[in-house]
Amino acid sequence: MHPLTFSLLALASLTVLARASVQKQFQLSEDLYESTRFDLSNLKYEHSQITPYLNLSSITSKSAFQTLSHPRFPRHSVRVKKSDFCDPTVSVYTGYLDVDDGAKHMFFYFFESRRDPANDDVMMWINGGPGCSSATGLLFELGPCSIDINNISENGTMWNPYSWNKEANIFFLDQPVGVGFSYADFGETVETTEDAAKNIHAFITIFFETFKQFTGRPLHLSGESYGVNGRYLPLFASEIYDKNQVAQAEGRPTLNLQSVLIGNGITDISTLYLGRYEIECGTAALDVPFQQIGKCVRMKTALPRCQAAMKSNCIDQFDSMNCRATVDFCDNELSTGYWDSGRNPYDISKMCEGDDLCYTEQGAIGNFLDLPSTRELLGVESPGNFTGCSPEVGRNFNKHMDKWAHPTQYYVAGLLERGIRVLIYAGTYDWQCNWVANKLWVDKLEWSGQQTYLVEEWRNWVVQGQKAGETKKAGNLTFATIRGAGHMMMHVPHDKPAEAQAMVSRWLAKEDI
């Protein structure tokens, strides 16, 4: 794989889907979606609570969207319908979050819990990029079904016994606009994580305050790569928490945000390259380093210069021009050797196969989702083909130096200090957003529990009598590795889906990993 195939922006994406090879566009007839509007503007507040309005079970149409609006979000609305997609054992819903007076449309999937949907917690899963569809998580990792590349099934997907909806209700959201089936009427995109956070808060609030069964239900934000890593989830969670404080002061309902689960992320950019060096040239991933000695010497020589420039130009005082030059230097000196090796950047134990994303399933997902029958089942309105990962969205985020200009780890510290539980987890075979880089930034994270965390001993965590990885905990912060897993650690059946599901199950139950 040529190094120019990926910018550092793309290197952090890790959960990308290839743009579907299907070129034909499908447009559903407008009369199929004559929407029924449910408007909350006339709701009365009693005892500081919104009067319960609907139950999700009241959404029964599989063809027409029902539209939800809210007086506090006059420029947002949510359209939802029932669907038979993916998991026949639970109720499934799909729809759009419409933003900016209906000019932008973000697609979502919602699966009820297989255990107790009336009482189980709610999770939201977001993939990274920036600009990559959460259909990767849905159909390649932790969703109720997985893409069938062997043509075994009749409907193109296979049942996933390790799905995270085993014990939780779960959303998969294609965001920002321009990703997956999300689109804009006039081609605009969201360009910063801060802008995206406002839309996420509006979406969850409208959904939770419309459907009464979710009032007070514990909410968990989860994802991987850019999605949870350094940017999306810490900022999304902070937006929800801060808006909760305003709502509470005004006597309005709040969202019961409980935790954030950050998988294989890049929260603190300063530790990324040191981690990659250790993965390639040390024994942090493999028992014997795979990288050539000469290339490791070159990396070792460049590393101090990279770290010093990163600290000076990107961290201590952000300088856009100099930070860009620093990232280019670090990338050229410390990443080129890996691309030359031909290895899968998401799993160091494997060679790259398939397309540039190194998994044959990625292209299959795009082809499957663009089938006319699939689009009709989902209620897709997007005039174009499914977009696994949008270069345009990525360029817009990169233009603003989104992941370099803002020290996201401080948001994580702020959440911890305010009682929000944070789980940082990483597969040990991931190179892109590797576990060493994650360990380093968590170790140096400044918060009131830092010293307690540093002196805690690592311990093995076990699934079915076998070591699954190592973990340590202090206060609201937990770090866990998943041994022998790549970036897509829930990838069925190749990685560690059973271990990942066990980890999440314990987390939701507030048990030690």
Tokens representing 469 are 């990885």
Question: In whole angstroms, what is the distance from residue 418 CA to residue 437 CA?
Answer: 25
For 333, residues 6+ apart whose C-beta sits below 8 A from its C-beta are 298, 299, 302, 306
Q: Is-catalytic flag, 225? A: yes
Question: In whole angstroms, what is the distance from residue 496 CA to residue 488 CA?
Answer: 9
DSSP sequence for 214-234: GTT--EEEEEEGGGTTTSHHH
Q: Is-catalytic flag, 430? A: yes
Q: Is-catalytic flag, 347? A: no
Instruction: Write the secondary structure of 442-466 as one string of H (helix), E (strand) and C (coil).
Output: HHCCCCCCHHHHHHCCCEEEEECCE
Question: In whole angstroms, what is the distance from residue 61 CA to residue 386 CA?
Answer: 24
Q: Identify the active-site residue in 146, 225, 259, 382.
A: 225
For 341, residues 6+ apart whose C-beta sits below 8 A from its C-beta are 290, 291
Closest CA to 197 of 78, 71, 99, 122: 99
Q: Taking a C-beta distance cutoff of 8 angstroms, is the pair 149, 364 a contact?
A: yes
Place of tokens 């070591």: 467
The percent of the chain in helix, strand and coil, each rounded to the nearest 5, is 35, 20, 40
Q: Tell me, what amino acid is at 65?
A: F
Q: Identify the active-site residue in 70, 105, 220, 487.
A: 487
Q: Taking a C-beta distance cutoff of 8 angstroms, is the pair 343, 431 a contact?
A: yes
Continuous segment of H or E residues that includes residue 379? none
Instruction: Write the secondary structure of 328-368 as one string of H (helix), E (strand) and C (coil).
Output: HHHHHHHCHHHHHHCEECCEEEEECCCCCCCCHHHHHHHHH
Q: How far is Cα of residue 153 from the mean position of the Cα atoms in its chain?
A: 28
Place of tokens 């398939």: 354
Question: In whole angstroms, what is the distance from residue 314 CA to residue 406 CA?
Answer: 9
With b for 16 or more beta-carbon neighbours within 10 A and e for fewer, the 253-291 pattern comes to bbbbbbbbbbbbbbbbbbbbbbbbbbbbbeebbeeebeb
Vertex 375 angle, CA 373 and 378, to 5°: 110
- From start to end of 282-428, where are the E strands? 343-344, 347-351, 421-427
Q: Which residues are catalytic?
A: 225, 430, 487
